[in-house]
A = this chain, B = another copy of it.
Amino acid sequence: MNTLGYAILGLIHKQKVTGYDLAKIFNDSVADFWNANQSQIYPELKKLVQSELIQYEILVQGEVLEKKLYSITEKGKKALETWITEDEPPLSQSKDIFKLRIYFAEHLNKEQLLEKFKERQLRCKSLLERYKIKISEYQDSEGISPEKLGDFLLLKNAIKQLEAHISWIDDSIAYIQNK
Chain A interface residues (CB < 8 Å from chain B): 3, 6-7, 10, 13, 30-35, 80-81, 83-85, 88-91, 93-108, 112, 116, 119-120, 123-124, 127, 146-147, 149-151, 153-154, 156-158, 160-161, 163-165, 167-168, 171-172, 175
Q: Which residues of B contact A81 (CB under 8 A)?
A: 107
- Residues of chain B within 8 A (CB-CB) of A161 are 161, 164-165, 168
Residue in B108, B119, B164 whose beta carbon sits within 8 Å of that of A163 in the complex: B164
Taken together as a complex, chains A and B put the C-alpha atoms of A124 and B7 apart, in Å, by 24
Contacts of A84 in B (CB 8 A): 101, 104, 107-108
Known contacts A88-B116, A164-B160, A95 near B172 by CB under 8 Å: no
Q: Which of A35, A102, A103 has the most CB of B within 10 A?
A: A103
Minimum Cβ distance to chain B for residue A104 (Å): 4
Chain B proximity of A112: nearest CB distance (Å): 6
In the bound complex, CA of A103 to CA of B152 (Å): 9
B-side contacts of A119, CB under 8 Å: 88
A85 CB → nearest B CB, Å: 6
